Amino acid sequence: MLQHLMDFFSGSHLIALVNADPLWVVAIVAVIILCETGLVIVPFLPGDSLLFTLGAFLPATSLSPVMVIALLTAAAFVGDTLNYHIGKGSVGRFILRRQWLKSQHRAKTETFFQKYGSATVFIGRFVPIVRTLAPFIAGLSAMPRSAFLLWNFAGALAWCSSFIALGYFLGDLAWVRDHREWLALSIIGVSLLPVLTAILRPAQQEEP
């Protein structure tokens, strides 16, 4: 499954999909962003790298970067809002009872809240794991909805625009244009290392 995901979002597959219909690529990335930010049990999805990689491919398309940033910002905003309400309701308490959250991930996010307060919702956008758990913990702690929505929107806009813009401007460089396949493969591969770690660690712990 992991290999299929890497194959699909890199190399010739991604280039072929971009050339065929770049809006489909944007839609797929938007769904992944929505899942990463909206479903607290999947904090390992590679949002940062997908935004950057998408930005690097945009110069080869006719899509407006502003439109792409707006769509993905909306996906990130909706995802965090969903996650906040999950944490605030009975589903959040059920997730805690079932111990579906790793204690170290929750502790890391709570440390951010202790240090930065409500701004964690903004800052956490740029920190893997914290990005997914911050809205959930905000809901659990009954953070005021108005404050959450404000930090949520600001963080979603800053996160999506910065990574897409960085990829876009680098993607227009000659070297990047000539090595888009390897760039996409490398970025997605590195971003999925936490998934491999999460899969391999339980197996290592079970060994005598």
pLDDT-based confidence at residue 47 (cuts at 50, 70, 90): confident
Sequence ranges of the domains in the chain: 2-200
Give 63's DSSP letter: -
Q: What pLDDT does residue 77 have?
A: 97
Least reliable range by pLDDT among 37-51, 63-77, 120-134:
37-51
Which two structure tokens, joined as six digits, stand for 198? 């999460």
Q: What pLDDT does residue 98 have?
A: 79
Mean pLDDT of 58-69: 88
Give 170's DSSP letter: H
Mean pLDDT of 54-77: 90
pLDDT at 191 over 80: no
Element (H, E) at 110: helix 103-116
Q: What pLDDT does residue 94 have?
A: 85
Q: What pLDDT does residue 58 have?
A: 85
Q: What pLDDT does residue 178 have?
A: 65
HEC sequence for 75-105 = HHHHHHHHHHHHHHCHHHHHHHHCCCCCHHH
Sign (positive or negative) of CA dihedral 72, 43, 2, 188? positive
- On whether the CB atoms of residues 55 and 163 are closer than 8 A, the answer is yes
Mean pLDDT of 65-79: 96
| pTM reported for the whole predicted model | 0.77
Which two structure tokens, joined as six digits, stand for 54? 């998408």
Q: What pLDDT does residue 18 have?
A: 59
